[in-house]
Structure 1
Amino acid sequence: MNGKISRILADDISQNFFKGKVIVVYGPRQSGKTTLAREIFRQMSVEPVLLNGDDDLDVHYFDTVTANRWTQLMGARKVVFVDEGQKIQNLGRAVKLLVDSRDDVQVVVTGSSSFSLANSIEEPLTGRKFEYKLFPLCFSELEKYFGFLEESKKLELRLVFGSYPEVVVNEADMKQTLKLLAESYLYRDIMQYEGIRKPAVLEKLLRALALQVGSEVSFNELSGLLGVSRTLVESYLKILEQAFIVFPLSSYSSNLRNEIKKGVKFYFWDNGIRNAVLNDFTPIPQRNDVGALWENYVISERMKKNAYKRADGLPYFWRTTDQMEVDYLEVLGSKIKAFEFKWNSRKRSRVTKAFTNRYPDAEVETITPENYAEWLS
């Protein structure tokens, strides 16, 4: 591959430089946060002060930082880049000290745990930051780089191996690259989170979620399956959310009879991570879980798109107690859009009449490999 894959957030972030606010970029490990920041610095011809939460000396610096020490550290430079900021305990206080004393400085912070980083900076930087989330590569970024036709041909690869940058650029060795990424990301980084007292339970929980993609999840059933309390299950699920491994999709109800009101499904932000959890990289034609992979892919890609566009619609699924279901909804006020996902476009499919009879004004559409590109662009 030649050249760099442009990221959607690059222009938005660079336009908010030197506006008196800290720029915070959350996202999973290896999603390209550092690369994105360095590319923005290069395009803007700025040389930042580099500090890294993986470097013990840099972390220790934040224990004793003062306004004078910031001045000594920065010299004539105007940009500070703090990578892996979630590992720095006093980050928020230290950054506030800098931005309060210097109105000509831009601070950029990245982190791979939304909980740890947000806790560190939330109170000191209230109203003083622009926040962004960077995910693995999205369809429109890949389409722009490869072209529509070429990226469409890679759809089956995306369903199996996902869209992490390192995986995409190592197409000849996707399986090994993804396995190494998953091992370092899942079984080293996440297991080190505070509160992970039972890593084997977290591993089993991930497998259970991977096998239940597209299905409603019961916390009580997971509790019984794993042999731990429901409270611990919910705690570990929250950690997986904060680490950008999975995200929840809640059920929609307007309190009509027999609608599921408190249901939840979990999807993976990246298909490749889901398959790595199961150690299953079987090609699409030989799989029996293609429907689940397709559903996970299009929903996660739509969630990325809506996050980048800051779309206002809220995502849900819909189900009744007698198992009538719609895969995905977007709800904005009284306006509802309903979507069904079908891998085989030759099979007749439509949103269930149980839904359209209740919500006759809803827009309905079936998403297949023939029309998904427009829905995700």
Structure 2
Amino acid sequence: MIQRDAQSTVKPVLSQGLVAIIYGARQTGKTTLAKQVAASYKKPLYLNCDDPTVVANLTGRSAQELKSYIGDTDFVVIDEAQRVENIGISLKLLHDSYPSIPLLVTGSSSLDLANRVAEPLTGRSIEIQLYPLSVREVSTDTPSMLAHARTLAVRGGYPGMWALSGEEASKRLRNMAINYIFRDAFSPIVIYDRTILNNLLQLLAYQIGNEVNYSELSRKLGVSRETVERYIDLLEKAFIVFRLNQYRKNLRAEVGRLRKIYFIDLGIRNALINDFRPLHIREDAGSLWENFCILERRKYLSTTGRLVRSYYWRNNKKQKIDLVEDEQDTVQAFEIKYGKKEPKVPTEFIKLYPNSEYIVVNPNNFNNTLFRALPDDQISLFQGGLL
């Protein structure tokens, strides 16, 4: 069983007497992670809210009734909690009345979680996003990381795909791309047009690494710009895509506010365009590598507790940087390249942000550049590739 990095994040939350809320797409391993955490307790209780009996026993109950239901357990897991009406109120009652019992809650929709779980638990909980498997989680040593990175860039990181052959994983991912997105990803109360959503996903799949213009998408789809914005917001809340906005502090030198959109799992992205060829023979290898690196950086940062704001940058002279991070007034710029050609240093960015750090990320150094730990008082510079 693969040990998840998020486990080290969950345990401190529980030890502080807070409710741990794990959210993320279905089949990313939330249940497995919850059971891994539960294994360290003497009398854990696992409640699956896909079971109607569980739902009935958690709905509209008093604190005493809830305690009677869970018994003398010393740890409670409530899986897929968004299925229970007003589950947030029930969790608040249970937590406030019996604070010594640790609670771990999982859910598959941030929209449902916000409405039904997180809001009533404000000040009593910490939310933790669980991503698909990371390259650090599946690699036992540094030499194996590049081979695993290339695999993740093609078939993605859903745990159920990892032990399958390439052909079997491709079949399963095609099925997931059709069924998961349209059946499991959205709340039943969300109204959407399946054809528009499918066409939008196709367009986004071909645009990873490029700026996305909502007005252009609306023309291609034959819908309003507002509809495009709403659907992309839904896709983000369903853990299918994520957005990067432009880093823009000099209004004259830097261009307007567009955005880039990346996929949280590249296996789903490749299923949408029906292309599972190896990375080294693909025309879109550079875009896939860019999505992979930004996603892996995002996974890594989610386990560190650091407050980092992520962007991309370009100016009116067509200079660009794939990833810009702003952390406590410290700026790091990552240029991501899959090929051997060295990128040109973005001189205008350096002039605008002279105290920033410029880092080139490629297949030979991604382990050292994306996953480095930072000292408490400063950012240490790497040798090579920096100004």
TM range (shorter): over 0.9
| Distance across 2 between alignment mates of 1:279 and 1:193 | 28
Match of 2:376 in 1: none
The one of 344, 348, 366 equivalent to 2:342 is 348
Give runs of aligned pairs for residues 222-237 of structure 1, distance below 5 A.
222-237=217-232
Match of 1:59 in 2: 55
The one of 175, 178, 187 equivalent to 2:173 is 178
Match of 1:6 in 2: 3
The one of 136, 152, 160 equivalent to 1:140 is 136
Match of 2:150 in 1: 156
Q: Does 1:370 align with 2:367?
A: no
Match of 2:161 in 1: 167
| Secondary structure of the corresponding residue to residue 96 of structure 1 | helix
The one of 23, 45, 57 equivalent to 2:20 is 23
Structure 1 unmatched ranges of 5 or more:
none
Alignment-mate amino acid for residue 327 of structure 1? D
Report the CA distance shift for 1:283/1:32 in structure 2 as closer, same or farther (over 3 A): same
Match of 1:47 in 2: 44
Structure 2 unmatched ranges of 5 or more:
372-387
Match of 2:380 in 1: none
Q: CA deviation at 1:360?
A: 2.6
Match of 2:275 in 1: 280
Deviations 1:184-227 (A, max 9, x none): 32132125543233011111111111111011111111111111
| Secondary structure of the corresponding residue to residue 20 of structure 2 | strand
Q: How many residues align?
A: 370
Q: CA deviation at 1:93?
A: 0.6
Deviations 1:244-301 (A, max 9, x none): 1111101011124231241211111121111111121122233111111010000011
| Aligned CA-pair RMSD | 1.8
Q: Which deviates more from structure 2 when the two are superposed, residues 296-305 or residues 357-366? A: 357-366
Match of 2:216 in 1: 221
| Distance across 2 between alignment mates of 1:351 and 1:312 | 27
| Secondary structure of the corresponding residue to residue 340 of structure 1 | strand
| Distance across 1 between alignment mates of 2:358 and 2:370 | 16
| Distance across 1 between alignment mates of 2:62 and 2:86 | 12
Q: CA deviation at 1:113?
A: 0.8
Report the CA distance shift for 1:375/1:82 in structure 2 as closer, same or farther (over 3 A): same
The one of 353, 362, 382 equivalent to 1:359 is 353
Q: CA deviation at 1:307?
A: 1.6
**Counterpart contact for 1:327–1:341, Cα < 8 Å:** yes
| Secondary structure of the corresponding residue to residue 119 of structure 2 | coil
**Counterpart contact for 1:166–1:177, Cα < 8 Å:** no
Match of 2:32 in 1: 35
Q: Which deviates more from structure 2 when the two are superposed, residues 235-244 or residues 280-289? A: 280-289
Please report the TM-score for the alignment, with normalisation by the length of structure 1.
Answer: 0.92
The one of 261, 269, 287 equivalent to 1:266 is 261
| Secondary structure of the corresponding residue to residue 127 of structure 2 | strand
Match of 1:197 in 2: 192
**Counterpart contact for 1:253–1:259, Cα < 8 Å:** yes
| Secondary structure of the corresponding residue to residue 64 of structure 1 | coil
The one of 94, 111, 114 equivalent to 2:110 is 114
Alignment-mate amino acid for residue 19 of structure 2? V
Match of 1:243 in 2: 238
| Distance across 2 between alignment mates of 1:255 and 1:297 | 29
| Distance across 1 between alignment mates of 2:119 and 2:336 | 42
Q: CA deviation at 1:368?
A: 0.6
| Distance across 2 between alignment mates of 1:376 and 1:332 | 15
Deviations 1:21-74 (A, max 9, x none): 2111111111111000101111333321x3323223322333331223212212
Alignment-mate amino acid for residue 288 of structure 2? L
Match of 1:89 in 2: 85
**Counterpart contact for 1:284–1:290, Cα < 8 Å:** yes
Please report the TM-score for the alignment, with normalisation by the length of structure 2.
Answer: 0.90
Alignment-mate amino acid for residue 372 of structure 1? F
Which stretches of structure 1, 4 residues or longer, exceed 6 Å deviation after superposition? none
Report the CA distance shift for 1:283/1:126 in structure 2 as closer, same or farther (over 3 A): same
| Distance across 2 between alignment mates of 1:139 and 1:339 | 18
| Distance across 2 between alignment mates of 1:196 and 1:8 | 35
| Distance across 1 between alignment mates of 2:302 and 2:17 | 24
